[in-house]
């Protein structure tokens, strides 16, 4: 049953970039409303598990702060989707696996393994290849800028993961911390929207139908299923399930938007996904071997 629930969660979050692209609104607008629409449902879930949420007040504020970081990440990531497509943007954003290891090395005194040092250059090379290197056959409105934005989004998402995990405690239901982070992200997206000329609060159809699907499918159902179920599944199977998210999004991008990647971009996808799979499966620090559930998929 855990495997089925995890697969359903991965399937939901694999449509995140698709819903963003279908909505067709500005990056900060889609980021803001995906949070706002998720809040009522997370509030209900958090209230139902309130008695089991014994976090200190400082940890709750830390979760809110992680949401502010997430608002920056989502705004940049949603922007990259318009530049390079749903599939490539999702693949690039998942380099957060690499960046989490680097952050652990620089700030948490975690010693990288030799494998991690070998994998990082390959993942960076993959990012360069996904940009198409300025070749005319590369997919995307601006694939070079889109690849850069996707990589930056992956880095910021890694910071979010480190802070968010520090704000939670083992055994605490995920609804409470996720609610706090979502509140912080909504506030952050609203602030970012003040600098976005395309930002708007007017509710239109079908754009907000897609944003509602994004909020409920990815932000609520998908994320909660993944954070709850993945730790109960063996590492190898978890790694494969998490890797399905960017793979599925590439498929949806190809089927729904005819995102025809160039051979060089396909090579970049293979290098990035191969790096992600290796690090989530084998770990990237010597002091404590990370497992795949340390790298939750992007909601």
Q: Which residues contact 244 (CB under 8 A, 6 or more apart)?
A: 7, 10, 14
Q: How confident is the model at residue 213 (pLDDT cuts 50, 70, 90)?
A: very high
Statement: residue 109 has pLDDT above 80:
no
Q: Which of 130-144, 164-178, 273-287 has the highest mean pLDDT?
A: 130-144
**Does 238 score more than 70 pLDDT?**
no
| 266: pLDDT strictly greater than 70 | yes
* Bigger pLDDT: 183 vs 53: 183
Q: For residue 266, how far is the Cα from the chain centroid?
A: 21
Q: What is the pLDDT of residue 52?
A: 82
SS3 for the chain is: CHHHHHHHHHHHHCCHHHHHHHHCCCHHHHHHHHHHHHHHHHHHHHHHCHHHCCCCHHHHHHHHHHHHHHHHHHHHHHHHHHHHCHHHHHHHHCCHHHHHHHHHHHHCCCCECHHHHHHHHHHHHHHHHHCHHHCCCCCCCCHHHHHHHHHHHHHHHHHHHHHHHHCCCCCCCCHHHHHHHHHHHHHHHHHHHCCCCCCCCCCCCCHHHHHHHHHHHHHHHHHHHHHHHHHHCCHHHHHHHHHHHHHHHHHHHHHHHCCCCCHHHHHHHHHHHHHHHHHHHHCCECCCCCCHHHCCCCC
Question: In whole numbers, what is the pLDDT of the chain averaged over residues?
Answer: 86
Instruction: Pick 118 or 68 by higher pLDDT.
Output: 68
| Burial (CB count <10 Å: 0-12, 13-18, 19+), residue 192 | buried
Which pLDDT score is estimated for 61?
95
pLDDT 10s digits, 157-173: 989 988 988 888 766 77
Spatial distance between the Cα atoms of 57 and 38, rounded to a whole number of angstroms: 22
User: Phi, psi (5° rounding) for residue 155?
Assistant: -65, -45
Give the model's confidence band at 42: pLDDT under 50 very low, under 70 low, under 90 confident, else very high: very high
Question: How many angstroms separate the CA atoms of 182 and 64, rounded?
Answer: 7
The pLDDT of residue 77: 96
Whether the pLDDT of residue 254 is over 50: the answer is yes
> Please, what's the b/e burial string for 116-134 (b: 16 or more CB within 10 A of its CB; e: otherwise)?
beebbeebbebbbbbbbee
Token representation of residue 278: 């290796």
| Predicted TM-score (pTM) above 0.85 | yes
Top-confidence range, 63-77, 90-104, 109-123, 274-288: 63-77
pLDDT recorded at residue 180: 94
Share of residues in the chain with pLDDT > 90 (%): 54
Position 228 scores a pLDDT of 76
């Amino acid at each position: 049953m855990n495997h089925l629930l995890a697969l359903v969660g991965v399937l939901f979050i694999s449509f995140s970039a698709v819903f963003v692209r279908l909505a067709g609104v500005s990056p900060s607008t889609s980021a803001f409303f995906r949070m706002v629409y998720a809040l009522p449902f997370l509030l209900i879930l958090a209230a139902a598990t309130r008695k089991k949420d014994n976090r200190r007040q400082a940890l709750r504020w830390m979760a809110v702060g992680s949401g502010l970081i997430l608002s920056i990440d989502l705004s940049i990531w949603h922007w990259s989707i318009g530049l390079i497509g749903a599939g490539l943007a999702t693949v690039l954003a998942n380099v957060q696996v690499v960046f989490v290891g680097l952050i652990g090395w620089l700030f948490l005194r975690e010693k990288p393994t030799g494998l991690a040092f070998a994998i990082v250059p390959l993942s960076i090379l993959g990012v360069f290849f996904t940009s198409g290197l300025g070749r005319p056959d590369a997919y995307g409105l601006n694939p070079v800028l889109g690849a850069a934005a996707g990589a930056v989004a992956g880095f910021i998402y890694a910071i979010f993961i480190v802070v968010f995990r520090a704000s939670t405690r083992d055994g605490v239901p995920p609804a409470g911390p996720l609610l706090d982070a979502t509140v912080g992200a909504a506030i952050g997206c609203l602030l970012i929207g003040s600098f976005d000329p395309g930002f708007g609060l007017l509710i239109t159809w079908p754009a907000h139908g897609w944003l509602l699907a994004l909020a409920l499918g990815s932000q609520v159902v998908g994320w909660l299923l993944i954070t709850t179920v993945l730790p109960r599944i063996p590492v190898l199977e978890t790694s494969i399930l998490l890797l399905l998210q960017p793979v599925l999004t590439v498929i949806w991008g190809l089927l729904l938007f005819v995102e025809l990647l160039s051979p060089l971009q396909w090579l970049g996808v293979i290098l990035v996904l191969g790096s992600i799979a290796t690090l989530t499966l084998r770990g990237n620090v010597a002091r404590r071997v990370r497992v795949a559930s340390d790298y939750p998929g992007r909601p």
